[in-house]
Chain A
Amino acid sequence: MSKKSDPKNEKDDSKRDFLVVSTYALAGVGAASFVWPLIDQMNPAADTLALASTEIDLSSLEEGQSITVKWRGKPVFVRHRTPDEIKQAKEVLIDDMRDPQADADRVANEKYIVLVGVCTHLGCVPLGQKTGDIKGQYGGWFCPCHGSHYDHSGRIRKGPAPTNLEVPSYKFLSDTLIRIG
């Protein structure tokens, strides 16, 4: 095509450039649209996403007791707090905390604290659900993996975890029945 180097050919060249660029662009879009399914197949599948909800009966949970239930493959902690624990959780100054949050914002009924039992550092299950467990310096939960201390409200007080223990979405169906999810 570019036999001669006269002004007419410059026009040809810019036409050629346009064709080349648009071909590459189209091939790029094509390749990307093929790669995306290959990447996205690793995301949670429809059956995994189908939100499983769990109902928990709290009537047999005495003051000072905790239970762990499984929700979305993760443990959920429910603790029936003692008046002393509630008092500590409510009265402590939140300004110095890493992730300041009032206890009232973390509970629906202050007697029961419901938490996703997964340390926000690297995903271990903190100790503190059983009577003999180490509960850490603040009496709530303690993650044995890298030493994060959580208080009675599941707030991070000391250690490497960046945020408080997550509160899952849940609601009270009656005074002693909750549904998580």
Chain B
Amino acid sequence: MSKPKFNNPVVKWIDYRLPIFTFMDHELNHYPTPKNLNYFWNFGSLAGIALVTMIITGIVLSMNYTAHVDYAFDSVERIMRDVNHGWLIRYIHMNGASFFFIVVFIHIFRGLYYGSYKAPRELLWILGVLILLLMMATAFMGYVLPWGQMSFWGATVITNLFSAIPVVGESIVTWLWGGFSVDNSTLNRFFSLHFVLPFVIVGVVILHLIALHRFGSNNPIGIDVKGTQDTIPFSPYYTIKDLFGLGVFLTFFAAAVFFFPNFMGHPDNYIEANPMVTPAHIVPEWYFLPFYAILRAIPDKLGGVLFMFGAIAVLFILPWLDRSPVRSSQFRPIFKIFFWVLVADCILLGYLGAMPAEGIYVILSRIATAYYFFHFLVLFPLLPYIEKTKPLPISISEPVLSGAATASAFATREKK
């Protein structure tokens, strides 16, 4: 790639000594991007924007928050009532968490549908799963901070998951709590970690981006870029597409913040934590519900915990579970159907996680859990042996330039 020309003498002076402008031009301006990306490719940059929003509002909130069992709940109420624009900042932060997860879940399913986790993007995918795990830990600890009933009992239930570990489980839980129950020590350390983990996420996001820019984005057809005829520069084409998507996203986000700020929350969390009374029905935040349903589907404490963490663990090894050389579902007719079954299965698990653990809900949870693991551990490895994939186009440009006539000569994926 040719060196960019800078006219501004100050920029020139700096760039000669610290090539930050060359770097930005290379990665954000000229960065060659497949020309056929659809709107599902917006969700990566949206996730980045959500992360920045959370960090900014979070820092501001921490200036008004008191991490102590006697004051935490009241300090949050003070933010809502007395602090200038406190209600707005908190509602942005609160709903921002939900929207961050919405965006990331769509981003992940995009990757699943178009096979973005396949070689040579395995590490890119694994870093993404790591970000998801960090997000879940951060979100969980953040939910504890307002010290409402759901905060307290959510923290109790989730930390107790570790007591399922044989022999050392109880000691680990006591260590996590810093006492014999969720108490002030727990609240303090959760606040500390909730503050710092987002910056760890930023670090992993940077690695995620370095890995992304090594081979560039995957694309809806899932075949490799053959040359400059298949790409367009990131700016202005994708900067403007990302900005348009951001506008749509912000419309929904603002609607939630201003009109339905508590829609995704739980009313019990506006009751101050009471260690003596468990709410009749403990529900985690909606983005944990599918995992919670898996936890409850297994009628054994350790088994439930293992399956719940296993649901994430299978994502880490997904690049090696899927044996098919074809990336995009567009050319995998059977896989495509099962992809939507998986989406439906995850939504069903989410619904079941919100329902009481009894009767038909338990049975359905078990079926849905079984399907989840069947999909990853059986379907992904075995489907390529049964499925007849459709012929792949020769290049990204070809299906566009030669109309509907795809070159059937290339029945299998071309060599890298």
Contact = CB atoms under 8 A, between A and B. Distances in A.
Interface of A: 39, 42-45, 48, 68, 70, 72-75, 121-127, 143-147, 160-162
Given A44-B179, A45-B185, A162-B301, A144 B280 contact: yes
Contact of B179 (A68, A73, A122, A146): A73
A133 B202 CA distance: 47
Contacts, number: 86
B357 A146 contact: yes
Contact of B180 (A72, A122, A124, A146): A72
A73 B178 contact: no
Instruction: State the main secondary structure of chain A at its contact with B.
Output: loop
A125 B157 contact: no
A68 B157 contact: no
A73 B301 contact: no
Given A160-B304, A162-B301, A147 B160 contact: no
Point out which of A68, A75, A125, A162 has the most chain B C-beta atoms below 10 A from its C-beta: A125
Interface of B: 153, 156-161, 163, 174-181, 183, 185, 189, 275-278, 280-282, 296, 299-302, 304, 356-358
A144 B277 CA distance: 11
Given A44-B174, A125-B277, A160-B301, 16 more contacts: A39-B175, A42-B189, A43-B174, A44-B178, A68-B276, A75-B275, A121-B301, A122-B156, A122-B157, A124-B156, A124-B282, A125-B276, A126-B278, A144-B280, A160-B299, A160-B304
B12 to A, nearest CB: 46
Contacts of A121: 160, 301
12 contacts: A42-B176, A42-B178, A42-B189, A44-B179, A45-B178, A68-B276, A73-B181, A123-B160, A124-B157, A144-B280, A145-B153, A160-B304
A162 to B, nearest CB: 5
B186 to A, nearest CB: 10
Contacts of B281: 144
Contact of B175 (A43, A45, A75, A143): A43
